[in-house]
Chains A and B, each alone.
Chain A
Amino acid sequence: MKRWVRPLIALLAAVSLGAVAHAQIVIKPAVVFSTGGKFDKSFNEGVWQGAERFKKETGIAVAEFEPSNETQFEQVLRRFAQRGQDPIIAVGFAQAVALEKVAKEFPNVHFTLIDSVVNLPNVQSVVFREQEGSFLVGMLAAMASKTGKIGFVGGMDIPLVRRFQCGFEQGIKYANPNAELITNMTGTTPAAWNDPGRGAELAKGQFDRGVDVVYAAAGSTGLGILQATRDRGKLGIGVDSNQNHLHPGNMLTSMLKRVDLAAYNSFKAAQDNQWKGGTQVLGLKEGGVDWALDKDNEKLITPQMKAAVDAAKAAIISGQIVVHDYMSNNSCKS
């Protein structure tokens, strides 16, 4: 039965697309990355991949800007809007304030904000239920850990990163109530997203305390964390993009946050004249978050682990398991 389901869906989709046949309009899209930099192998790089995919499929050029510090956000958003770039994707919660200001100045320009919410008619806010994906990788960590001690290294200490941590912790406890979680934050300023040296030190500190699986949710800082993980022969968990390829054999999995889809869909919708403002919340159900399984980590994931995670995933989607959101009450206790 399964064999003909997919082609059928594809056919239906093609027919419905043909029937609707949106009039495509000419757009001049742009992306403003966050301070982690375009090639952080993680969050920003995911957006870049989405933009690249759009570029390849449509041949439309995408303007890009990589700010060297957060004071440039407002300036470059305004500059792009003045130059007629539309839609403009702003990557990262740190751009919210700047974007709100600029979006008010240019009510006819469409903005997409990833990872935070701005309530304006010309702003599309895309946020994720990171706690759900983190829950799943937390289960994997608990099942893979031999010492029962698991580490979390976050980037900047903000509620968003605590949300990753909190979901991770719930997943760990779900799989193994006796497991212990050791949490570190890299810093309290945006520089914490870009400090691999400190990330590596934090990870080593955790290993010295018995940790054998560490979850890096820290942008470019994560590269240092995962490098230290490889150097010590422990297991690492990547974040946002699929980072399994960084150190095959030492990467347990990655928590996928499909910012690439968010970016691609936003451009595509604009091109099809279907762009809408408002807030999108993407979780497991919407395919916005997930865990990564590929040739680089398939040896580390036993069939039992996979079965347990798949079951939990189905339970979260159906609502049987509710993963508490740290940001709902600024606490990891519901």
Chain B
Amino acid sequence: MEEALSLVTATLAATLRVATPLVLCAMGGLFSEKSGILDVGLEGKMLMAAFFAAATASLTGSAWMGVGAAILAAEVLALLHGFACITHRGNQVVSGIAINILAMGLTVVLGAAWFGRGGQTPPLTGTERLNPIFFPVAGDNILVYGALLAVPFTWWLIARTRFGLRLRAVGEVPLAVDAAGISVSWLRYRAVLLCGLFAGLAGAYLSIAQNAGFSRDMTAGQGFIALAAIIFGRWRPVPAFGACLAFGLLDAIAIRLQGVRLPGVGEVPVQLIQAMPYLLTLFLLAGFIGRTVAPKAAGVPYEKEP
């Protein structure tokens, strides 16, 4: 019994560990998408942030400098996305994909030039990482708690503040916001910057909290899973959080199910277990969550009437 209980807590801890970057990323993406700016570039922002977090932490010896650098790096990409999509009304999907490709290439090139380890940063130790606070075994570093706080914060900001009301409005009917004398561009820029902040934290978590150093393509599609979580959550923070946890839980269970003999079934093949998150995605999208309602103006550049 005790063993089963500890297995349950261990699985829950693993769920949180795996879900943390997804949650941070999803909350960031929510701000951007709510304001009408699609963000396919979450993955790239997170990757760039992860690289700069590890590189800075390794050079300065301070994890917090790493977090700062991660946020800065993600904000630069966020501003780039904003500049292309808000100021110049470019295609938001194309800009996002460009950011992903840029991050994928630039991190490896810079890493190879600075550290000469084929794109990896040196392994981080001690204060160069964000270490667990209360339970070393569970790996509960400050960003895990940060992710848990990010959800009510996002909900409050979007649902209960004037800024949030305007943010929602600009994602639905930007013309109305403009007519009320509020700058559509400035609102959207702020949303994109908030997105950069959270994506930066997610990246920092990957390279200096969960792992000890950057390795190329270490985001491994998590930015896209966060994007899927936003859609599952129908662009609302708490359901999106739930979706992130579901992905995390599936992953944690999949890890523990590998090689285990289930009664009556025998050993479950690795391939099947690893396909589970994707099967769940299909299953949910196909019928469970019904019609998804995106912000109406998402993806549409706003042009002022001449």
Chain A residues within CB distance 8 Å of chain B: 37-40, 66, 68, 157, 182-185, 187-188, 191, 194-198, 200-202, 204-205, 208-209, 220, 223-224, 227, 231-232, 246
Contact = CB atoms under 8 A, between A and B. Distances in A.
Contacts of B18: 201
Nearest to B18: A201
B206 interface: yes
Contacts of B120: 37, 39, 220
A205 B13 CA distance: 10
A95 B116 CA distance: 25
Nearest to A195: B220
B218 A196 contact: yes
30 contacts: A38-B118, A39-B116, A39-B117, A184-B258, A185-B258, A187-B274, A188-B271, A191-B220, A194-B217, A195-B218, A196-B213, A196-B218, A197-B206, A197-B218, A200-B210, A200-B211, A201-B251, A201-B252, A205-B10, A205-B252, A208-B6, A208-B7, A209-B256, A223-B123, A223-B213, A223-B215, A227-B211, A232-B136, A232-B137, A246-B123
B93 to A, nearest CB: 23
A37 B7 CA distance: 35
Given A157-B270, A205-B252, A183 B258 contact: yes
A40 B119 CA distance: 10
Contact of B212 (A68, A205, A227): A227
Contacts of A202: 255, 258
Contacts of B258: 183-185, 202
B255 A37 contact: no
A194 B218 CA distance: 8
Interface in B6-53: 6-7, 10-11, 14, 17-18
B57 to A, nearest CB: 14
Contacts of B211: 196-197, 200, 224, 227
Contact of A184 (B17, B210, B216, B255): B255
Contacts of B251: 201
Interface in B122-144: 123, 136-137, 139
The 9 closest A-B pairs by CB, nearest first: A208-B10, A39-B118, A39-B117, A205-B255, A37-B118, A38-B118, A183-B259, A227-B212, A184-B258
Interface string B208-251: 00111101111010000000000000000000000000000001
Contacts of B274: 187-188
A47 to B, nearest CB: 13
A299 B17 CA distance: 33
A194 B210 contact: no
A201 B255 contact: yes
Contacts of B136: 231-232
A227 B218 CA distance: 15
A250 to B, nearest CB: 12
Contacts of B212: 227
Contact of A227 (B119, B123, B217, B255): B123
Nearest to B207: A197
A227 B207 CA distance: 12
Nearest to A185: B270
Contacts of A220: 120, 215
Contacts of B119: 37, 39
Interface string B74-100: 000000000000000000000000000
Contacts of B139: 204, 231
A66 B111 CA distance: 14
Contacts of B14: 201, 204-205, 208
Given A204-B14, A223-B213, A223-B215, 4 more contacts: A196-B215, A197-B211, A223-B123, A231-B136
Contacts of B118: 37-40, 66
A227 B259 CA distance: 23
B220 A197 contact: yes
Contacts of B217: 191, 194
A198 B220 contact: yes
Contacts of A188: 270-271, 274
Contacts of A157: 270-271
Interface string B186-217: 00000000000000000000100011110111
Contacts of A40: 118
A195 B217 CA distance: 8
